[in-house]
Amino acid sequence: MAQELDLIPGTEWGFFTPPRPMCIAGPCSAETEEQVMETARGLHAIGIHVFRAGIWKPRTHPGSFEGVGTPGLRWLRRVKEELGMKVCTEVASEKHVLGCVKYGVDMVWIGARTSANPFLMQEIADALEGTDIPVLVKNPVNPDLDLWIGALERLNRAGIRRLGVIHRGFSTSAAIPYRNDPGWKLAIELRTRYPQMTFFADPSHIAGGRSYLQELSQRAMDLGLDGLMVECHCNPSCAWSDARQQITPAALKDLLESLVIRETTSDNVDYREGIGALRARIDVIDEKLLELLKERMDVSLHIGEYKKNHNVAILQTGRWEEVLRSMITRGAELGLSENAITAIMTAIHDESVRVQNTILES
């Protein structure tokens, strides 16, 4: 059973100033002191106040560059002292948390491989207890909303109220242009459940390539998310990790300037009246849809009884394919997409089969 979360909104963390998006930027990995300082200076010059850099890197293969470790924390401290930026890094264990506390790291994030692991989440939550360091939790690599929420609950129980999330998409074997499936639906679900949660998107890890960053960042803004975490490097193509998805500070400036930021709502009276009237119409239509669905289910029940009495199987694939095909054709005439019709009709049909099966079992 999910618990309520006691949260302080990101605007009150003392890290981010309006306008949207709140922005966190910096290299995938801290590589050398020079690379960290040069990237941070470039970002500071374009008005970024929160710097990220991975110190401990979760890599698929041993022997790949696994991060510089503790020495990198000194470089982050230098960024903080020389440029006055807030600094953050990824933690995946108690040891990492203790290192961050020791070197004054301002904020930490939990990576997608770690948020999927309740043992590690509990270890990190215990280590963070009493520190008051803000924490951002990336979604687990697999699209499991409860696992994501469970990670947030553990941190919140440990007293972390400056708590936010980063949506970075999900691992997939499907052939898509991005590195990860954006799976925005899950982000919207989490957003709806915890509207007060500070919400970032990580277009870099969703994209996996520079050319998709703009469209993904715009999408995140259109969904009303609060911020972006973007991987930036002073010399992206030579980066030691995630070279294809990193951009220069100058490219980040262009990206941010290109974004169209729409308000999540408006105080304008005409807008409020107009949207109110349209929503009232939608409510009436939804009510009718429910009544029609109920009527359809009742007929379906009768069909179930009929099949039972005549000893006929519930699922008639031929008939179902015919219904779907004709609905898609009729839908197309009305300007409705094949995907939408297929999804809606499949859900209705699944429920009909379930209801008819209850008759058979009764």
Binding site for ligand PEP (CB under 6 A): 28, 54, 58, 90, 111-112, 138, 168, 202, 205
Cβ atoms of residues 166 and 200 within 8 Å: yes
Nearer to ligand PEP by Cβ, of 90 and 226: the residue is 90
Residue 112 contact among Mn ion, ligand PEP, none, beta carbon within 5 to 8 Å by kind = ligand PEP
- Is 52 strand, coil or helix? strand
CB atoms within 10 A of CB 325: 10
Residue 111 contact among Mn ion, ligand PEP, none, beta carbon within 5 to 8 Å by kind = ligand PEP
Give the pair of three-digit tokens for residue 134: 């803000």
Shortest Å, Cβ 38 to ligand PEP? 19
Distance CA 325, CA 327 (A): 5
Nearer to ligand PEP by Cβ, of 47 and 58: the residue is 58
Taking alpha carbons only, the member of 177, 176, 113, 117 closest to residue 141 is 113
Nearer to Mn ion by Cβ, of 154 and 168: the residue is 168
Q: Taking phi first (over 0 means left), then psi (-120 to 50 degrees means alpha), and beta for anything else, what does residue 5 get?
A: beta
Nearer to ligand PEP by Cβ, of 154 and 167: the residue is 167
- The length of the chain is 362
Nearer to ligand PEP by Cβ, of 80 and 167: the residue is 167
Q: Which of residues 202-261 bind Mn ion (CB under 5 A)?
A: 242
Shortest Å, Cβ 191 to ligand PEP? 18
Residue 138 contact among ligand PEP, Mn ion, none, beta carbon within 5 to 8 Å by kind = ligand PEP
Q: Which residues, 6 or more positions from 341, have their beta carbon under 8 angstroms from its beta carbon?
A: 324, 327, 328, 331
Distance CA 151, CA 148 (A): 5
Q: Which of residues 309-328 bind Mn ion (CB under 5 A)?
A: none
Mark 68-107 with x for binding to Mn ion (rule: CB under 5 A) and - for no binding. Answer: ----------------------------------------
- Give Cα separations from 291 to 287, 288, 334 (angstroms): 6, 5, 22
Interface with Mn ion (CB under 5 A): 28, 242
